[in-house]
Amino acid sequence: MAIYEFLCSECAHQDDLIRKMDDASVTICPKCMKDTFVKQVSAPNFQLNGSGWYATDFKNKASSKPADKQDIKKTTPTEAIKNND
């Protein structure tokens, strides 16, 4: 399902509608009821349905193992060059 932006050229009412790609376009403004509701050109936007997506299943989960500060070796750029030789 895609989210489309619509704007009424008569009353300037703006709305975002979730529509299937093959649904007929909405042309009647829900506010003034005139045939001046037009789909706007905007950045793509969509809504994910079901499970298995980052936004629904993984976004708010904490990492299982925090990074261990002792495992990170601090070196200066000069030391790193010497170690690679």
28 band by pLDDT with thresholds 50, 70 and 90: very high
Residue keyed to tokens 């500060």: 69
Structure tokens belonging to residue 11: 């009353």
Write down the pTM of the prediction. 0.50
Instruction: Please tell me the CATH code under which domain 1-43 is placed.
Output: 2.20.28.10
| Dihedrals phi, psi of 63, to nearest 5 degrees | -65, 150
Q: What is the pLDDT of residue 21?
A: 80
Asked whether residue 45 carries a pLDDT value surpassing 60, the answer given is yes
Q: Where are the domains of the chain?
A: 1-43
